[in-house]
């Protein structure tokens, strides 16, 4: 069998590592085209030596000499900077794993989409920001977008063989994050160390904080709105602390389909690697008798207002989701840097959103401009607060 070509954007991250773990166990089926990272030259070089990509790219050009030294004597090309990242993403791999964190992943993801191959999307911020611009590019270039996010992957699996017209309701499940049971007063004292300690999932710092504020579920609501266009009124969120049911679809006849599995990102990633088939993984079987209890509760938008803000941004449409995302990225970085408190994150996003009503972006450049302006606004408001 001819190996299938694959590029992994964000190879050194949590999703990147989980993907490479699956490739490692199924090595002969894959030919790695590009591996990319931001500045972690040592880890990228280690992965490149193991997986022998055509090219290894760092977005942070200043770290390129370190990568070059580490890969000296190999046949692997090295490159640095945003243009090199776009070139690597556009090398036409049959499958691209889009796993860069934040809107920084948008342009490379679009470059991969423009090649018309299959893009497995973990980088939710890219779709939240670009929305219709990205889905139009998928259609225009004949690309296939597969959702990696466990909830959207679950919905995608539940919808297989069904018609969107028959969907009565889509329910995104949310773990509730590490502060699910904290009072409003306690939330004021939450530290970055506590916020990144997710009870069920082992993830990068940014998405872990998003899970703690529930902005992750807000971003996912907007992501689902674009991936499964059934209308916002049919998208709901329910808190499910065990993270076993990854999401559900209810159909017109009253049937509800759900996808269940361990809290292991290799499960949804494997489903995109093998799609439309299945592959063997070493992921644990689900032992429901051992888990014993699956519980569900309504989200508390008084303590966790992020989902309300995200829904409002999605309803307003246009550039508002891009503004929401940019403001959130700035606020999360400031929280991780101990510049602002936990509850200020979402309050700051709301403040930025209240000052904006930009026009609908029509192109990638428009989206990137809105993103840059919203970041400037978020930084300025933070300085003057």
| Interface ranges with ligand NDP (CB under 6 A) | 10-16, 37-40, 59, 99-101, 104, 122-125, 149, 201, 203-204, 206-207, 265
Give the CA angle between residues 101, 103, 106 to the nearest 5°: 100
Q: 171 or 250: whose CB is closer to ligand NDP?
A: 171
Q: 215 or 230: whose CB is closer to ligand NDP?
A: 215
Q: 218 or 250: whose CB is closer to ligand NDP?
A: 218
The least distance separating ligand NDP from the CB of residue 70, rounded to whole angstroms, comes to: 13
Q: 150 or 250: whose CB is closer to ligand NDP?
A: 150
Q: Which residues does 71 contact at the CB level (< 8 Å), separation at least 6? A: 45, 48, 49, 56, 78
Q: Residue written as tokens 């699910």? A: 180
The least distance separating ligand NDP from the CB of residue 151, rounded to whole angstroms, comes to: 8
Q: 36 or 343: whose CB is closer to ligand NDP?
A: 36
Return contacts of 71-78, CB within 8 angstroms, 24+ apart. 71/45, 74/48, 74/49, 76/48, 76/49, 76/52
The least distance separating ligand NDP from the CB of residue 258, rounded to whole angstroms, comes to: 18
Indicate the helix (H) or strand (E) that contains 235. strand 235-239
The least distance separating ligand NDP from the CB of residue 108, rounded to whole angstroms, comes to: 7
The least distance separating ligand NDP from the CB of residue 116, rounded to whole angstroms, comes to: 23
The answer to whether 264 and 283 have CB atoms below 8 angstroms apart is: yes
Instruction: Using alpha carbons, list the distances in angstroms from residue 206 to 36, 142, 270, 373.
Output: 18, 31, 23, 21
Q: 206 or 226: whose CB is closer to ligand NDP?
A: 206
376 φ, ψ to 5°?
-60, -45
The least distance separating ligand NDP from the CB of residue 11, rounded to whole angstroms, comes to: 6
Q: 114 or 210: whose CB is closer to ligand NDP?
A: 210
Q: Which residues does 33 contact at the CB level (< 8 Å), separation at least 6? A: 5, 6, 7, 53, 54, 55, 88, 91, 92, 93
| Other CB atoms within 10 Å distance of the CB of residue 165 | 7
The least distance separating ligand NDP from the CB of residue 163, rounded to whole angstroms, comes to: 27
The answer to whether 246 and 175 have CB atoms below 8 angstroms apart is: no
Nearest residue (beta carbon) to ligand NDP: 13
| Other CB atoms within 10 Å distance of the CB of residue 285 | 7
């Amino acid at each position: 069998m001819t190996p299938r070509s694959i590029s992994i954007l964000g190879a050194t991250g949590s999703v990147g590592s989980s993907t490479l773990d699956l490739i490692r166990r199924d090595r002969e089926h894959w030919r790695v085209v590009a591996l990319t990272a931001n500045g972690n030259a040592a880890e990228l070089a280690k992965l490149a030596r193991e997986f022998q990509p055509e090219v290894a790219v760092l977005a942070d050009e200043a770290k390129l000499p370190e990568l070059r030294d580490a890969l000296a004597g190999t046949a692997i090309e090295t490159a640095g900077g945003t243009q090199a990242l776009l070139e690597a993403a556009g090398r036409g791999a049959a499958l691209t794993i889009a796993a860069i964190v934040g809107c920084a992943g948008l342009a490379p993801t679009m470059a991969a989409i423009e090649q018309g191959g299959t893009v497995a999307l973990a980088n939710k911020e890219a779709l939240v920001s670009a929305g219709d611009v990205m889905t139009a590019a998928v259609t225009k270039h004949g690309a296939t977008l597969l959702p990696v996010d466990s909830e959207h992957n679950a919905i995608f699996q539940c919808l297989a063989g069904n018609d969107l017209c028959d969907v009565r309701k889509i329910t995104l499940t949310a773990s509730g994050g590490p502060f699910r049971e904290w009072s409003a007063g306690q939330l004021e004292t939450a530290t970055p160390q506590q916020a990144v300690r997710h009870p069920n999932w082992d993830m990068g710092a940014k998405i872990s904080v998003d899970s703690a504020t529930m902005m992750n579920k807000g971003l996912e609501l907007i992501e689902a709105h674009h991936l499964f266009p059934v209308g916002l009124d049919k998208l709901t969120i329910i808190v499910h602390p065990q993270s076993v049911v990854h999401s559900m679809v209810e159909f017109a006849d009253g049937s509800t389909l759900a996808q269940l599995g361990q809290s292991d990102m290799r499960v949804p990633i494997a489903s995109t690697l093998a799609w439309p088939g299945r592959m063997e993984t070493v992921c644990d079987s689900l032992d429901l008798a051992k888990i014993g209890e699956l519980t569900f509760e309504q989200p508390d938008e008084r303590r966790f207002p992020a989902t309300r803000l995200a829904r409002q941004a999605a309803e307003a449409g246009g550039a508002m989701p891009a503004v929401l995302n940019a403001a959130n990225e700035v606020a999360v970085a400031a929280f991780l840097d101990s510049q602002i408190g936990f509850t200020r994150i979402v309050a700051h996003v709301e403040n930025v959103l209240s000052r904006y009503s930009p026009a609908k972006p029509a192109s990638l450049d428009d989206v990137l401009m809105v993103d840059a302006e919203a970041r400037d606004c978020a930084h300025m408001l933070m300085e003057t607060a």
